[in-house]
């Protein structure tokens, strides 16, 4: 990336107009920069020793596979010739001579056959690196490729063919391991795609059934899902009842009963029953496919630690070149040291200074964390939001559907002023007939129980933070909070004792009236989640200092709920703009503020927080698009897991950075005293690269446990192969 930033950045008006997806080998030229033809972009990339083509997902995947095979072939050839050369040396000198080849340099001339074998190992090991190194030298912009080629060339100059071959082979092996690890992380994301079967059993108009590619099924087509099958497409159940395991999307393994009218999602697993389903989305736009796209694109939004590593590597490499020159020149000039001895030590420094492990470990860690969270029903929209949850100090959340179950029910009905209970429910149901709000669903359910199936009110309109009003039965009617009743001058008709009893119980009071009369009051009660108190306690234990409830409900109800679960602060009777103001206060006094909402009504407040978390985003396009992080279920228990997952990811990244830098520091010190060898330096570097990659891939195994306690639009897209796959 550093190379491409230096070459293309000035041409497009600055590096900020370029976006990189290391895992997928994709560079995006944003439309915020200067216009440039695709041909010129490809030509400039070619000047760096890399190749490029316009982005196409299928051809890019094939290219990545071909590149890995090419690396594998050249690495195997280099290793093979190295092994044969070393074997020849053992035959010629015996085991004592074999040990001696590791012990020093320049002691004896090497037989021609052995030299040719090691030279072949050098050629194959350096073949894919040399063009990039030459490009780096021409631009006077040293990078790790140039460091290795200079080290290899210097060793050949000294007659150290064995050490030159060892450096070339191990460096080639290191690059192959990096590409393999990137591919492993990429495959973890691609594995999500395999959750949905490639075909669907479609029911034709004449009643016959036929297996059809899922991509060819159109919206409205009917298909059959047999017991035990994975569901191929999002759809609506038309016939049949069955339990469906939604774990691939939500991370929750408990089956959810599906019956006619319910939604089902691609990639989920049908239970014992057979379902007839109507496709509601094409295969390219299912919930699962959107998750896959978002996870695949998320790495382009890099975490702060990734940006730090990239900047560090950019400064670090030239410094190493200067140090190497100093080690080669100063001891002979100032202390009369042997030129070949200190030139060799300078080459050793170049080898150990190669930042392979440092550069690759962070992006692999981030992508592994993104893929793991997606498998656990938590969709993180970018590398920056992997890092943020672990630093959360304040958390704001709504009451309904987070602390409470989100399925309120009508606890009691209180007609007033001579209104009958059926009339009160009829007016309330008419006003809520077109609403999907949880309170509306509760009122409509109670009306059906009472046998009321009336018409919807006319000219209905929602008054934000207040309620709804319209016309029904030839008169103006309204429904809403006691504050709405007060604004209409009808709050005096609310019995004080009734109001205090409802609010004191933590229930929600809904007043219903017409233009001149208060018709009655409905008491709606939403059960507090059984695990809410434990979840809040775990969040506090994780270092979230302030947890604030932001709700449009009345003060007494909100405080009753907050007191029961241990929430620190309550802001009640809030309009959407009031929630934004409350978030701004938190942002001003806390380092990292998260807002949990439904992704739609709370969008302004979520946008103002440092990052937003959408609850229950499965099936909700708006929730997935709005939030920085989307919980695919309405289980707030995922939030403590998310914080723990974030901290584990950052801890692994810090481990990798520390191990890489510590290893290099040790060898730099040994080199300064002439105690390090070139083959030892490259072996250590490859070993550390392998260790940090394996450490990063451990994140793929991170499991959620339902909150159980645990520690600009692109103007054009161009694929840059080669160095992009190596994290440069």
Q: 700 near 372, Cβ under 8 Å? A: yes
Measure the CA–CA gap between 199 and 601, rounded to whole angstroms: 37
DSSP state of 16: G
State the DSSP H helix or E strand holding residue 518, giving kind and residue range, or none if neither. strand 518-525
How is the beta sheet containing 593-597 ordered, strand by strand? Answer: 378-380, 629-631, 611-614, 593-597, 394-397, 546-550, 569-571
Active-site annotation holder among 398, 598, 602, 634: 398
Which residue(s) pair with 213 in the sheet? 199
285 exposed, middle or buried (CB, 10 Å; 0-12, 13-18, 19+)?
Answer: middle
- Report the 10 Å Cβ neighbour count for 311: 11
Q: Which residues touch 360 (CB under 8 Å, ≥6 apart)?
A: 178, 181, 182, 689, 692, 693, 726, 727
Measure the CA–CA gap between 660 and 658, rounded to whole angstroms: 5
CA nearest neighbour of 214 among 259, 281, 260? 281
DSSP state of 611: E
CA atoms within 13 A on the CB side of 718: 23
State the DSSP H helix or E strand holding residue 629, giving kind and residue range, or none if neither. strand 629-631
State the DSSP H helix or E strand holding residue 155, giving kind and residue range, or none if neither. helix 144-157
Q: What are phi and psi of 614, to 5 degrees?
A: -95, 135
E-assigned strand segments in 318-445: 378-380, 394-397, 409-415
Q: Which residues touch 174 (CB under 8 Å, ≥6 apart)?
A: 354, 356, 685, 686, 689
> Reduced to 3 states, what is the DSSP secondary structure of residue 92?
helix
Q: 688 near 170, Cβ under 8 Å? A: no
Q: What are phi and psi of 231, to 5 degrees?
A: -85, 125
The question of whether 398 is a catalytic residue gets the answer yes
24 exposed, middle or buried (CB, 10 Å; 0-12, 13-18, 19+)?
Answer: buried
- Report the 10 Å Cβ neighbour count for 85: 23
Cα of 101 vs its chain's centroid, Å:
48
Measure the CA–CA gap between 261 and 278, rounded to whole angstroms: 10
CA atoms within 13 A on the CB side of 109: 3
State the Rg of the chain over Cα.
33
Measure the CA–CA gap between 482 and 523, rounded to whole angstroms: 12
> Reduced to 3 states, what is the DSSP secondary structure of residue 259?
coil
Q: Which residues touch 679 (CB under 8 Å, ≥6 apart)?
A: 102, 162, 163, 166, 167, 170
Q: 257 near 224, Cβ under 8 Å? A: no
CA 158-162-676 angle, to 5 degrees, is 75
Question: Which of left, alpha, beta for 673 (phi over 0: left; psi -120 to 50: alpha)?
Answer: alpha
CA nearest neighbour of 710 among 656, 661, 646? 646
CA nearest neighbour of 242 among 252, 232, 231, 227? 227
Would you please indicate which residues are annotated as catalytic (active-site) residues? 398
């Amino acid at each position: 990336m550093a190379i491409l930033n230096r070459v293309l950045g000035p041409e497009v008006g600055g590096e900020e107009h370029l976006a990189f997806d290391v895992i997928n080998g994709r560079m995006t030229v944003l439309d915020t920069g200067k216009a440039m033809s695709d041909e010129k972009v490809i030509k400039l990339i070619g000047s760096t020793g890399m190749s490029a083509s316009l982005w196409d997902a299928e051809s890019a995947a094939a290219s990545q596979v071909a590149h890995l095979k090419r690396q594998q072939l050249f690495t195997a050839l280099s290793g093979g010739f190295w092994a044969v050369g070393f074997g020849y040396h053992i035959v010629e000198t015996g085991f004592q001579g074999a040990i001696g080849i590791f012990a020093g340099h320049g002691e004896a001339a090497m037989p021609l056959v052995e030299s040719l074998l090691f030279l072949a190992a050098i050629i194959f090991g350096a073949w894919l690196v040399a063009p990039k190194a030459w490009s780096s030298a021409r631009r006077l912009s040293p990078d790790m490729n140039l460091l290795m080629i200079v080290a290899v060339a210097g060793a050949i100059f000294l007659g150290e063919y064995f050490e030159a071959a060892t450096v070339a082979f191990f460096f080639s092996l290191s690059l192959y391991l990096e590409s393999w690890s990137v591919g492993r992380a990429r495959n973890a994301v691609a594995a999500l795609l395999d959750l949905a079967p490639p075909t669907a059993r479609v029911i034709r108009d004449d009643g016959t059934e036929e297996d059809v590619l899922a991509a060819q099924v159109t919206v409205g087509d009917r298909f059959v899902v047999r017991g035990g099958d994975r569901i191929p497409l999002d759809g609506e159940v038309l016939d049949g009842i069955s339990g469906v395991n939604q774990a691939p999307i939500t991370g929750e393994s408990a089956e959810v009963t599906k019956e006619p009218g319910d939604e089902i999602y691609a990639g989920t697993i049908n239970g014992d029953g057979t379902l007839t389903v109507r496709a509601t989305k094409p295969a390219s736009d299912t919930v699962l496919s959107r998750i896959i796209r978002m996870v695949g694109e998320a790495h382009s939004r890099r975490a702060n630690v990734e940006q730090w590593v990239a900047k560090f590597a950019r400064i670090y490499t030239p410094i190493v070149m200067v140090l190497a020159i100093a080690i080669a020149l100063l001891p002979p000039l100032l202390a009369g040291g042997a030129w070949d001895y200190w030139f060799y030590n300078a080459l050793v420094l170049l080898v150990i200074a190669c930042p392979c492990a440092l550069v690759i470990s962070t992006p692999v860690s981030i992508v592994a964390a993104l893929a793991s969270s997606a498998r656990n029903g938590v969709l993180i929209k970018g590398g920056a939001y992997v890092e943020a949850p672990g630093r959360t100090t304040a958390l704001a959340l709504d009451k309904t559907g987070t602390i409470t179950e989100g399925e309120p029910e009508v606890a009691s009905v209180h007609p007033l002023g001579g209104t009958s209970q059926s009339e009160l429910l009829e007016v309330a149901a008419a006003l809520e007939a077109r609403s999907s709000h949880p309170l509306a669903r509760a009122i409509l359910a109670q009306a059906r129980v009472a046998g009321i199936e009336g018409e919807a009110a006319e000219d209905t309109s929602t008054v934000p933070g207040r309620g709804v009003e319209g016309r029904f039965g030839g008169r103006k009617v309204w429904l809403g909070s006691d504050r709405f009743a007060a604004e209409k001058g009808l709050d005096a008709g609310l019995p004080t004792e009734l109001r205090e009893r409802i609010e004191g119980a933590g229930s929600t009071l809904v007043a219903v009236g017409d233009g001149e009369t208060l018709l009655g009051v409905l008491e709606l009660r939403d059960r507090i989640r059984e695990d809410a108190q434990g979840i809040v306690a775990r969040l506090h234990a994780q270092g979230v200092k302030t947890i604030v409830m932001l709700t449009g409900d009345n003060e007494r109800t909100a405080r009753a709920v907050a007191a029961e679960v241990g929430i620190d602060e309550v802001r009640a009777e809030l309009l959407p703009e009031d929630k934004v103001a409350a978030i701004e206060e938190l942002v001003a006094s806390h380092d990292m503020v998260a807002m949990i909402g439904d992704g739609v009504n709370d969008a302004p407040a979520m946008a103002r927080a440092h990052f937003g978390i959408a609850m229950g985003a499965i099936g909700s396009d708006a929730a997935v698009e709005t939030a920085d992080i989307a919980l695919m279920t309405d289980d707030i228990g995922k939030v403590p897991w998310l914080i723990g997952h974030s901290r584990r990811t950052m801890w692994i990244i810090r481990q990798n950075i520390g191990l890489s830098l510590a290893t290099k520091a040790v060898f730099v010190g040994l080199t300064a005293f002439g105690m390090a060898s070139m083959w030892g330096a490259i072996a250590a570097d490859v070993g550390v690269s392998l260790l940090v990659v394996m450490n990063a891939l451990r994140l793929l195994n991170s499991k959620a446990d339902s909150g159980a306690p645990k520690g600009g639009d692109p103007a054009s897209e161009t694929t840059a192969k080669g160095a992009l796959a190596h994290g440069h």
